[in-house]
């Protein structure tokens, strides 16, 4: 019995040792796998870092051009920019898109800018009067059209500017923004707003009062007006026809406002005097401006609903 018991104990001990050995082997395998995974991850990170460094180096070696564009031009200019960079890989275009009024202020404050493409003449006129334009580079490029828009199936009672008072809420750009100015100009022409020397100074509160106290959400550029309508936070809004590009399945155009109410919505472009720019940057800016104002660029502008039948 003792002998059998001893044999049994020996067998249990042997199995325990075998199990321990197996566990150590499993632990060793897991550790090896984990280490290999860490090494692979480090190698991948190192490779990604090298690629990022190379890309940054390539960008640093490129001739950089600062292009300020009205918010309504963002999509079409990025498209044209990609076309240009494909033909000129040595050039990097940096776009700053916002309301023309804000961009004007930035230029006057000394922001680095090589080209300014405005949604209205007023801002370019100001820079020309201040002597900030490169002589001979100013050109009129496209025309646009003011629109009253809403979400599809919104059920709004508004049919256009004349019935804006029937809206539950309106998204409207402030008077310093060209689309806000054109809206006010049209409302003055319709005798909804009183005549004034400078319509851009008509406050949003005054517009609301003229429309019977309707709620107005003031926006700082046309893209934000469109966003307010698309998100449903405002029932209607006034944008440009070009801004409806890509939103055809969401947005309903209630009215394309006639030019006799707004006047032409001309977009001028010009090269800006930039003392910080190198000769290469100035030359690249001049060349890109020529590309944007060429006949070849007209097809792209038309694709984004801009009218290219304008006189320079």
Beta pairing, strands 236-240 & 146-151: antiparallel
In 137-214, DSSP assigns E strands to: 139-144, 146-151, 169-173
Alpha-carbon gap, residue 211 to 154, rounded angstroms: 20
CB-CB neighbours of 266 under 10 Å: 19
What secondary structure letter does DSSP report for 134? Answer: P
**Residue 226, both tokens:** 């469109």
Which secondary-structure segment (H or E) carries 92? strand 91-98
DSSP-assigned beta bridge partners for residue 171: 217, 237
As given in the structure block, the two tokens for residue 247 are 């939103």
- 288, 269 in Cβ contact below 8 A? no
Structural domains for the chain = 59-143+265-303 (3.40.190.10), 146-256 (3.40.190.10)
pLDDT in tens, the chain (312 residues): 434 443 444 444 444 444 445 444 445 555 555 666 666 666 666 666 666 565 555 666 899 999 999 999 999 999 999 999 999 999 999 999 999 999 999 999 999 999 999 999 999 999 999 999 999 999 999 999 999 999 999 999 999 999 999 999 999 999 999 999 999 999 999 999 999 999 999 999 999 999 999 999 999 999 999 999 999 999 999 999 999 999 999 999 999 999 999 999 999 999 999 999 999 999 999 999 999 999 999 999 999 999 999 986
Of all helices (H) and strands (E), which one includes residue 66?
Answer: strand 63-70
- What is residue 13's predicted lDDT score, i.e. its pLDDT? 46
Helices then strands, counting H and E runs in the chain, come out as 10, 10
Pairwise CA distance, residues 14 & 29, whole Å = 22
10 Å CB burial of residue 299 (0-12, 13-18, 19+) is: exposed
């Amino acid at each position: 019995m003792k002998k059998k018991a001893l044999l049994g104990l020996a067998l249990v001990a042997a199995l325990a040792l075998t199990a321990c050995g197996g566990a150590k082997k499993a632990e060793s395998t897991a550790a090896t796998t984990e280490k290999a995974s860490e090494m692979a991850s480090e190698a991948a990170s190192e490779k990604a870092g090298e690629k990022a460094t190379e890309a940054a180096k390539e960008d640093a070696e490129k001739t950089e051009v600062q292009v300020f564009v009205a918010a309504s031009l963002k999509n079409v200019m990025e498209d044209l920019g990609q076309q240009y960079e494909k033909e000129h890989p040595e050039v990097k275009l940096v776009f700053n898109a916002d309301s023309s009024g804000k961009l004007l202020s930035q230029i006057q404050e000394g922001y680095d800018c090589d080209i300014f493409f405005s949604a209205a003449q007023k801002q370019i006129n100001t820079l020309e009067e201040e002597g900030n334009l490169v002589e001979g580079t100013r050109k009129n490029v496209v025309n646009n059209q003011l629109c009253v828009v809403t979400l599809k199936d919104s059920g709004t009672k508004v049919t256009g500017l004349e019935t804006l008072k029937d809206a539950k809420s309106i998204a409207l750009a402030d008077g310093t923004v060209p689309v806000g100015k054109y809206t006010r100009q049209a409302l003055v022409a319709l005798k909804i707003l009183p005549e004034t020397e400078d319509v851009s100074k008509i406050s949003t509160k005054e517009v609301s009062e003229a429309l019977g106290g309707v709620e107005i959400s003031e926006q700082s550029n046309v893209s934000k007006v469109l966003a307010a309508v698309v998100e449903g936070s405002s029932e209607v809004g006034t944008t440009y026809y070009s801004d409806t590009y890509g939103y055809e399945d969401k947005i309903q155009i209630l009215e394309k406002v006639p030019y006799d109410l707004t006047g032409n919505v001309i977009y001028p472009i010009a090269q800006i005097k930039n003392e910080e720019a190198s000769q290469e940057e100035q030359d690249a800016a001049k060349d890109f401006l020529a590309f944007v104002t060429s006949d070849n660029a007209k097809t792209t502008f038309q694709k984004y609903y801009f009218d290219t039948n304008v006189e320079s």
